[in-house]
Amino acid sequence: MSRTAVGPGGAQSDRLALVVFDWDGTLVDSTSAITDAICLSAADLGLPVPTRERASHVIGLGLLEAIHYAVPQIQRAQMPAFIERYRHHFLKRDEYLMPFDGVPALLAELAGLGVPLAVATGKSRAGLDRALVQTGWGRLFATTRCADEGAPKPDPWMLHDICEELDVDPARLVMIGDTTHDLRMATAAGARSVAVTYGAHPVAELEACAPEAIVRSVGELRDWLLPRVAPA
């Protein structure tokens, strides 16, 4: 049974000093675009086309790790061409991607309350910077980390580096994501985690990672977060 977020926050020890979001499948509805780009790229190169379930499972990983998992038959010499085709197909869809309902309002509300926000994503730095410009959200985040800047998920590097920069104890951070990669990264970093079910990974896989809460909508995420954010 999934656990959903209800009720007020607890004592001061329950309060959060930092909220870190995954990007794809958590803030922005990009799961189908990424899945399409992987499958079309495989077809372009004459490689076995993965199932959509397998292709979507890699969302949140770094690009190289994602390709190797989705298309294990790929040879090293084919990787540059695959990456070129992936970027071609994804960029054709990129400008049409939309945030999930309620996300812009939630981010603005948290920022207005003085809650420090950050992003930890499997996107490249170039990809995230482009997305931040497209959404206009760059000013809302205290800092961001991308997979190509260090170790990709589920390695805890991104969260540890964010905590070091912002001088935050990982135990007072919550990682919010739609994949097991996000949740496993949080566990490895000693951070808290909340899973959202409207993204890439099935609920059963999210439950197996034992996050603190599992929410079905941005509204439920807001209800869980607001009582727990540390005062400005």
| Type of residue at 8 | P
User: What number of H helices and E strands is found in the chain?
Assistant: 10, 6
Give the CA radius of gyration of the chain.
17
The phi, psi pair for 101, rounded to 5°, reads: -55, 130
Question: CA–CA separation, 90 vs 84, rounded Å?
Answer: 10
Closest C-alpha to 46, from 87, 75, 69: 75
Q: Of 14, 24, 148, 169, which residue is the catalytic one?
A: 24
User: Which long-range contacts link 137-145 to residues 24+ away (Cβ below 8 Å)?
Assistant: 137/104, 137/107, 140/107, 140/108, 140/111, 141/117, 142/18, 142/116, 142/117, 142/118, 142/166, 143/118, 144/118, 144/119, 144/120, 145/118, 145/119, 145/120, 145/121
Q: Of 14, 22, 44, 169, which residue is the catalytic one?
A: 22
- 22 assigned to active site: yes
Q: Are 177 and 60 in contact (CB under 8 A)?
A: yes
- 129 assigned to active site: no
- Please identify every residue annotated as catalytic: 22, 24
